[in-house]
């Protein structure tokens, strides 16, 4: 398992998410990923206690957004946006 630490995380209350469903942004968040599948999502402080012995990938001020894969493919982990929150990037 690995913990992905980010400044902001876009998530939804239900899965699978469909167009028009509400989303929210967690500040100082993390995602626990096991075998390529999202196992847990939440605030960094909570997840680092829950998974204290797991490897951490710290992406600093990055924004993490949901992937856009559709069945029959397995759920995607996520994709990391390039750059920092609020920073304009090329490509």
Question: Is the pLDDT assigned to residue 88 strictly greater than 80?
Answer: no
- 29 domain residue, yes or no: yes
* Residue 67 confidence (pLDDT): 61
Percent of the chain clearing pLDDT 70 (strictly above): 70
- 56 domain residue, yes or no: yes
- 88 domain residue, yes or no: no
- 19 domain residue, yes or no: yes
State pLDDT tens for residues 44-54.
Answer: 999 999 999 99
Rounded to two decimals, the pTM is 0.68
- 80 domain residue, yes or no: no
For position 15, which CATH number holds? 2.30.40.10
Neighbours of 6 (CB within 10 A): 26
Question: Is the pLDDT assigned to residue 86 strictly greater than 60?
Answer: no
- 50 domain residue, yes or no: yes
Domain range for 36 is 2-74
State pLDDT tens for residues 63-79.
Answer: 888 665 444 444 444 44
- 44 domain residue, yes or no: yes
- 85 domain residue, yes or no: no
């Amino acid at each position: 398992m690995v913990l992905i630490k980010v400044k902001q995380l876009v998530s939804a209350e239900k899965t699978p998410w469909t167009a028009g469903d509400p989303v929210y942004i967690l500040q100082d968040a993390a995602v626990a990923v096991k075998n390529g599948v999202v196992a847990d999502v939440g605030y960094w402080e909570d997840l680092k206690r829950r998974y204290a012995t797991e490897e951490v990938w710290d992406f600093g001020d990055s924004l993490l957004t949901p992937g856009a894969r559709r069945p029959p493919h397995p759920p995607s982990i996520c994709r990391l946006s390039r750059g920092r929150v609020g920073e304009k990037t090329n490509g």
